[in-house]
Amino acid sequence: MCASSSSNSLTLTVLMPAYNEARGLAVSVAALLAALDRHGITYEVLIADDASTDATGSVADGRATIHEQVRVLHHAVNEGIGGGFISGVAAARGEWFILIPADLAMDLAELQRYFAAAETADVLVGIRSDRSDYSGWRRIVSFVNIGLIQFLFGMRERQFNYITMYRLVVLRAMTVEYWRSAFFHAETIIKAKALGYRIAEVEVSYVPRGTGRATGARPALILMTVRDMLHYWLRTRVIGRLWSTKARRP
C-alpha cells in the first residue's frame, strides 16, 4: 500500500482487469494514480493481465516498475473479468475494494462520492449517469438484466453491473460462485444484502470507452449470465424454500 500525503484513513485496493488493453493501459493507469493522489487516500492498484495476446502484460509490468503503488497479477489462461475479480480479492491489501475497468468508464473525480458514502455503508453500488454509447441491443440486454434481478431476488437497487466499491471483509465473507459470467456482479450484491451488510447507491458520471472493445453484450456471455442467474434463483429461492418448508413440518 502507498500512502498519499493526506491523513484520510480510508485504504483502498483498485483492481483493474485488462485483456488486450496495451494501447490505452499506461494512460489509464497514470490517470487513475493521479486521481487517487488527489483524493488523499492510502491505496494500491492491482492490474490483472488476463492472458492478453498483445503487450498488455509488459505494459503493466512497466507501470509496476515505475510506480510502487502498482502490482500486477498475470493469468496463465484467460479467465474473464470474473476471474480477475477472484484473483484481486485474494491479493488485495486494502480495507476497501473496487473494480475499475481498464477504460476507466467513469469520471475519476467522482470517486470522492464513493469515499464520502463509505462512512455509512459497506457496499456502494455505482449508478451510471447514462447509456448514450449503448446500441439498441445493449440497452435491451441491460434493461432485461436489471429487471430480472430485481424481480427474482427482490432487489431494490437500480443497477448491478457498473462500478461497485466493497469493504473487503464483505467479499471475503462469501464465496463468489458465478465468476465465469457477468452475473457475479449482482451475485456479490445479493449475497452482501443477505449477510446483513449495508448497501447504498452512488450516482456517478459515466465516461464512454475511448480504446479497446466492449464485450459485455456478446450472446455467449448473455446466455451464461442468464443460466447462472436462474441456477442461483432456483437453488436459493425455490429449492431452498422447499427444503426449509419440509424441515419445519412435524
Strands (E), 81-228: 96-99, 123-128, 164-167, 199-204
Say which residue the cell 451475485 belongs to. Answer: 187
Which one-letter DSSP state was computed for residue 45?
E
What is the secondary structure of 62-102 as a DSSP string? Answer: HHHHH-TTEEEEE-SS--HHHHHHHHHHHH--SSEEEE--T
Percent of the chain with pLDDT over 70: 88
CA atoms within 13 A on the CB side of 180: 7
Cα 168 to chain centroid distance, Å, stands at 12
Domain 2-248, what architecture? Answer: Alpha-Beta Complex (3.90)
Q: Comparing 134 with 74, which gets the higher pLDDT?
A: 74
151/159 Cα distance (integer angstroms): 13
Cell of 187: 451475485
Q: Lowest mean pLDDT: which of 1-5, 13-17, 39-43, 129-133? A: 1-5
Average pLDDT of the chain, as a whole number: 90
Taking the C-alpha atoms of residue 25 and residue 104, their distance in angstroms, rounded to an integer, is: 10
- The domain segmentation of the chain, as residue ranges, is 2-248
Q: Do residues 32 and 63 make contact, with C-beta atoms less than 8 angstroms apart?
A: no
- Answer yes or no: is pLDDT of 214 > 90: no
**pTM of the predicted model as reported, rounded to 2 decimal places:** 0.89
Of 67, 94, 74, 72, nearest in space to 1 by CA: 94
pLDDT over 60 at 243, yes or no: no
- Distance in Å from the first CA to the final CA of the chain: 56
- CA angle at 158 for the pair 156 and 159, rounded to the nearest 5°: 120
Q: Tens of pLDDT along 90-141?
A: 999 999 999 999 999 899 999 999 999 999 999 999 998 777 677 888 889 9
